[in-house]
Chains A and B, each alone.
Chain A
Amino acid sequence: MSSNEGQQHPLGIYFQIWILLFALSAASYMVDYMQFQGYLRWFLIISFMMLKAGLIVAVFMHMLWERLALVYAIIVPPLLLLVFVGIGTLEGDYTFLTREIFFAGAE
């Protein structure tokens, strides 16, 4: 913020990103509307999500014009979350497995 005192961008870029975000949202809504399932659904939802997130952070939040140090300080820590997601997946699958075994035995 201190590095970009009074930064100026033409208005056009905001409208372009805005339209792009609208189109991407509409596309991800269509994924549900058309009832795509399976890996295609996963792939489309995640791609649209990351594209939208990237556009918002890069342009609307002016990350594109920030110092590289700030960019890394903000972008790198959340990457650790991917590890966390992995752990969560393992844990979830394991709990599911034990529940299946336990409840099957109880019947």
Chain B
Amino acid sequence: MMWIFLLSDTFIFSCFLIAYGTVRMSTTIPWPNPSEVFALTIGGTHVPLLLIAIMTFVLITSSGTMALAVNYGYRKNKMVTFWLLLATALLGAAFVGMQAFEWTKLIVDEGVRPWGNPMGAPQFGAIFFMVTGFHGTHVSIGVLFLGIMAVKVLRGNMDTGKPGFMTGRKQDYNMVEIMGLYWHFVDLVWVFIFAVFYLW
């Protein structure tokens, strides 16, 4: 079922990215240069795309800890699975935090709005907030469910095979794998957003 959901989600995100491509191609006003828009100045030096690069590394790291959590889940190692899930959730939360910082910087300091911005094509804001907002929502929901899953693992629900919430089905470590599928998918979407939106 998770695969079916992810397939449908693939189409949703693809529609967004194709819409972005079409909009960017059709505008006669120059598109703002993402390399400049998302640059950070640290200690007087101007580094392009730094925050986005850090966000990318954080998300990949969280994907790594998630993969390890699934592996330790199958080994029925309760505590390690719990800590790895928690680490994944914290990295995800850090990602959302950095995204909030990025949005604040764009909205407050640079005056980017969904209907216009000082740097160029007005469609930039609309597409940017839509795509990254939708992805950020996915990450936030993922963090929430990672937290729930971590608590379930810690309680030992997977070991005792206790029925889950509002279902008679017994819980087991496959749930961690399915959680992992969702989380890796969120990372996967970011790979595409990073490439076509930020690097283009």
Contact = CB atoms under 8 A, between A and B. Distances in A.
Interface in B83-140: none
Contacts of A99: 26-28
A1 B174 contact: yes
A4 to B, nearest CB: 8
A5 B174 contact: yes
Interface residues of A, number: 52
Nearest to A94: B26
A52 B56 CA distance: 12
Contacts of A11: 68, 71
**Does more than half of chain B's interface fall in helix, strand or loop, or is it mixed?**
helix
Interface in A63-82: 70, 73-74, 77-78, 81
B166 interface: no
Contacts of A73: 3, 7
Contacts of B188: 53, 56-57
Nearest to B63: A60
Contact of A61 (B23, B49, B184): B184
Interface of A: 1, 5-9, 11, 14-15, 17-18, 21-22, 25, 28-29, 31-33, 35, 41, 45-46, 48-49, 52-53, 56-57, 59-62, 70, 73-74, 77-78, 81, 84-85, 88-89, 91-96, 99-100, 103
Interface of B: 2-3, 6-7, 10-11, 14, 18-19, 21-28, 35, 48-49, 53, 56-57, 60-61, 63-64, 66-68, 71, 74-75, 173-174, 177-178, 180-181, 184-185, 187-188, 191-192, 194-196, 198-200
10 contacts: A21-B63, A21-B64, A28-B195, A32-B48, A49-B191, A49-B195, A60-B187, A88-B22, A95-B22, A95-B26
